[in-house]
Chain A
Amino acid sequence: MLSWLIKRLLMLVPVFLAVSVVIFSILHFIPGDPIDNLLKVGSSPEARAEMEARYGLDRPLPVQYGLWLGNVVQGDLGTAIVARRPVADLIAQALPHSLRLGGLALLFSTVVGVTLGVVAALNRDRWPDRAIMGGVLVGSTMPSFWLGLILILIFSVSLGWFPVSGARGWNSLVLPVLTIGLGGTALVARITRVSMIEAAGRDFVTLLHAKGLSPLRIQLRHVLRHALIPVVTILALRIGWILGGAVTVEVVFARPGLGTLLIKSLSQHDYPVVQACLLMLAMAVMLGTLLGDILQALMDPRVRAALT
């Protein structure tokens, strides 16, 4: 198990390198020169050259990449061109907001999604199943920014229960978490239902019935445990999607976070910040995949056996 884990961690290194090359090179294709934003109109070419030298933009691209990667590995993400502050500071300020939002949304969609999925599977093809699956379909087809705006309209404007925007206090989190969480809930409920139904048809379930266990006990203790494995794997793979959803929802609710930082820096052509935001999101995606593999190994004795 330990040697598998080490091997799995080492596999992340080439992926990380590939991702970093992509992120670094893509941003140099973006039109628009950050130096233009900094210089006064009519500045001399010398002033421009000096500015480019200060941010290292005059070196050849591979050299720029090497320097950048070396610094990133040491935790130095460069200096934001527009804000003129260390990028690491900006990220450190934004990240906790996004993690809190994403974490709560993940928790919400897991708990509600699994519950709905189980209820639907237990009532297969009867009205609770139809109602839940219908709701799930509608929930997964609404654009998240629109859902957010509608929730603001109902709960902030009409009822006045929650603030429209900002990040002050727990009640400013409720609507954003709901907005991201409902999309995830739909996914989790759908997978839980399908894998519950699939697991219920296995031989070991017939055996448990033959042994005389109560059907509800079989469903909740045995079938559900079986069915949760794909749910966990897919949820871990979806961590990136939840953060992607956070990007949109943060903008709608005007919350500080990685998403608002990314969108703002993209429009200001602030390369170092955009690179850092993308790198953070990419690392979250990679860690999510890793977490999914580890959890699957812990939950599924067959996978565990294959690894040792």
Chain B
Amino acid sequence: MIAPLRALRRPQGALAGLWLILVICAAILAPLLTPYAYDIQALPNAYQPASAAHWLGTDEFGRDLLTRLIYGARTSLSVSATAISISVLCGMVLGAAAAWFGGWLDRVVTMTVDLTWSFPEILIALILVAIIGPGTTGVMIAIAVAYLAQFTRLTRAQIMTLRGETFIEAARSLGAGNGHILFRHLLPNALAPVLVSAMLATGDAIILEATLGFFGLGAQPPVPSWGGMMSAGSALVFKAPWVIIFPGLAVAITVVAINLYGDALIGELDIRSRLRRDA
């Protein structure tokens, strides 16, 4: 059986995997799961606490909170996952190129990566969103750039270590060319640690996306995102705390689940030492 499925057999991996599958299914099936629309306001219903009709209550515009939470999962998960995918792709290309060609390219890449590495992701993302403009596209690009350094660094380190291994020497002495060694041997072997750290980074990206949404920079109303739902902030803490509590819980539980599942996966793949040495 392949490792992602084996990880589900561990108790914490199973619990975490179950939650993640639940959230992803809910996000995909959103219109089938709820009788309400996420964007139709009903002001007389505003600020209702949890009830049989509205399981998690209603928000400041009288919209069903659970409905917005489910639709919000669509935005938050797709933005974070897409951003990290872009980041991983670009990071692998940059990291592999830097490690493979060396020389000035390596120096420029390493220096740029070290420079951005020392900046908090939230600052990089805030500035990029200021340049690109708010909205899901801006946030996606901002998150992708904010995490680029991490994957470039990891890929580069993996390739550098693998390059000295005996099996590479063996392939070379059998007459394998540069491209063959890079694409058939080095990159596939570097893939597992990079993909696992990408999964863990998706958790961080969900938090970053929520923070940008909280600042009102993410998906623009009426489209819900977990962070955007909380952007009314401390004003609502007095009046309708559930509007703040549930989206935050959704973020926290999902990120915990990603971490637990990722941990189980790291255990199954037996790559803990490779991740710690390079990250």
Residues of A within 8 A of B (CB): 15, 18-19, 22, 26, 29-31, 137-138, 141-146, 149-150, 152-153, 156-157, 164-165, 237, 240-241, 243-245, 247-248, 251-254, 262-263, 266, 278, 281-282, 285-286, 289
Query: Interface on chain A toward B: helix, strand, loop, or mixed SS?
Result: helix
Q: List 19 A-B contacts (CB under 8 A).
A: A18-B115, A30-B130, A138-B252, A138-B256, A143-B211, A143-B227, A143-B251, A145-B233, A146-B210, A146-B251, A149-B237, A153-B237, A156-B237, A240-B119, A243-B120, A244-B119, A248-B214, A263-B215, A281-B119
Q: Name B120's contact: one of A18, A138, A244 (CB within 8 Å).
A: A244
Partner of B123, one of A150, A152, A278: A278
Given contacts A31-B133, A289-B118, contact A247 B123 (CB under 8 A): yes
Q: For residue A19, which residue of chain B has the nearest CB?
A: B115
B contact residues, range: 35 or more
Q: Which A-chain residue is minimally distant from B115 (CB atoms)?
A: A18
Question: How far is the CB of A209 from the nearest CB of chain B, in Å?
Answer: 26
> DSSP class of B's interface residues: helix, strand, loop or mixed?
helix
A244-B123, A289-B118 are known; give 14 further A-B pairs, CB within 8 A: A26-B127, A29-B131, A137-B256, A137-B260, A141-B259, A145-B230, A149-B234, A153-B241, A244-B121, A245-B120, A248-B211, A266-B127, A266-B130, A286-B118
Proximity string of chain B (194-238) to chain A, C-beta cutoff 8 Å, 1 when within and 0 when not: 000000000100010011001100000000000100100110011
Query: Is residue B65 within 8 Å, beta carbon to beta carbon, of the partner chain?
Result: no
Interface digits, B229-267 against A, CB 8 Å rule (1 contact, 0 not)? 010011001100100110110011001100110000000
| Closest partner residue, chain B, to A148 (CB atom) | B234
Give complex CA distance A266, B121 in Å: 17
User: Are A31's CB and B131's CB within 8 A?
Assistant: yes
Q: Which B residues are CB-close (under 8 A) to A142?
A: 248, 251-252
Contact with A along B5-35 (1 / 0, CB 8 A): 0000000000000000000000000000000
Residue in chain A with minimal CB distance to B252: A142
Contact residue among A26, A149, A253 (Cβ-Cβ distance under 8 Å from B131): A26
Neighbouring B residues of A29 by C-beta, 8 Å: 131
CA distance in complex: A100, B40 (Å): 45
Among B123, B214, B252, B259: residue with most chain A CB under 10 A: B123
A149 B252 Cβ-Cβ under 8 A: no
